[in-house]
Structure 1
Amino acid sequence: MNIAYSYTVEPQPEGGYLVQFVDLEEAFTEGETLEQAAFLAAEVLTGVLALRLERGEDVPPPSPAEGRPVAVPDAPVQAALLVRFAQQGKPLSELARAMGTSWPAAQRLTRPGNPTLKQLERAAAALGKRLVLALE
């Protein structure tokens, strides 16, 4: 799964560009140039997703971009979302049991943090998945 959220960009009459995320109504920003708007979009996306994860709120999966620009959150937020999305509604206790770990340790994987590759590999295997890394 690719954790890339699409957004719209609207030029503003006074100059600059307004960015609004399609799937996250509270996630918006603006930049003076398209490049700055894209950079700030990734920053805002990371912050909004991290806050939702920390609060235990729902996070919608990204909609298809359909030609719109996309932003990607930072790696700790991506890792937490990948584990959360892969759970597919299963209880966290089931993940903890499958990993042979405690419930709090499994819960930490669904919150932004700095999991090790070994922890992510174990979580992926417990979820019937395979961890794949990529540089873009």
Structure 2
Amino acid sequence: MNTAYPYTLEPQEGGGYVVQLVDFEEGFTEGSTEEEAAFNAAEVLSLVIEQRLADGRAIPLPSPGEGRSVAYPQARVQVALLLRKTREEQGRTLAEMARALQTSWPSAQRLEQATANPTLKQLERAAAALGKRLSITLD
């Protein structure tokens, strides 16, 4: 699953830029430079997804970039998002995930929270329970 979310970058009359995340109406920020705006876009994206995960709200798949700049959420947010989206795509419940991991429902639920700090071993087990393989890349 792709976690690159596009955003618009609008120069302001007095200097600086306004950023709007395309897929999240509540996702906006600004920056004095394009680099600062890009950094802030990633920060806001992480916060928006983290809050939606905590609230159990829907998280849209990223829109096509179509030449726009993209932001990636922080790694801990990506992990929670990827586990939740994969589980949901497979039509599995948290209870089914917990059984596959041979753990408790709260432990399985924590894996889908951006505030969790799972070990690589836990992530490998969760991926295997979903019929996937853990793959880490650096961009």
| Common topology (TM > 0.5) | yes
The alignment partner of 2:7 has SS state of strand
CA distance in 2, matches of 1:25, 1:14: 24
1:120 paired residue among 106, 119, 123: 123
2:64 & 2:93 partners in 1: Cα distance?
27
Whole-Å separation in 2 of the counterparts to 1:12 and 1:45:
21
Aligned counterpart, 1:105: 107
Match of 2:9, SS state, is strand
Moved over 3 A (4+): none
What is the match of residue 50 of structure 2?
A: 50
Cα-to-partner distance string for 1:47-92 (whole Å, 9 max, x where unaligned): 1111111111111121221111111111111100010111114211
Quote the sequence identity (%): 63
Match of 1:131 in 2: 134
Gaps of 5+ in 2: none
User: Structure 1 stretches of 5 or more lacking a match?
Assistant: none
**TM-score, normalised on structure 1?**
0.95
2:36 maps to 36
- Tell me the C-alpha RMSD between the 2 structures: 1.0
User: What TM-score comes out, normalization by structure 2 length?
Assistant: 0.93
Tell me the matched-pair count: 136
* 2:72 aligned residue: 72
Q: 1:2 Cα shift?
A: 2.7
